[in-house]
Amino acid sequence: MREVRNSFSHDYPEDPKLQAAMLNKCFEPASQLIAIFLGIKSFIEPYLS
């Protein structure tokens, strides 16, 4: 995930194909982050009520 974040933070490609490739690299880490978030949310929900 850090590699993807760094590429977005530091690389500014002007080639549309390279931009698309960078965006496509985000889909797997994004789904992992969503799964982590949902797990945390499920864990803390009983404590919020």
pLDDT above 90: residue 41: yes
Q: What is the pLDDT of residue 39?
A: 97
pLDDT-based confidence at residue 10 (cuts at 50, 70, 90) = low
pTM attached to this predicted model: 0.57
Q: What is the pLDDT of residue 9?
A: 61
Give the mean pLDDT of the chain: 82
CB–CB of 24/31 below 8 Å? no
Name residue 8's amino acid. Answer: F
Identify the sign of the CA torsion 39, 41, 42, 43: positive
| Sequence-separated (6 or more) residues with CB below 8 Å from residue 13 | 19, 22
* Extents of the domains making up the chain: 24-49
Give the pLDDT confidence of 12-29 residue by residue, as tens digits: 667 888 878 888 888 878
pLDDT-based confidence at residue 35 (cuts at 50, 70, 90) = very high
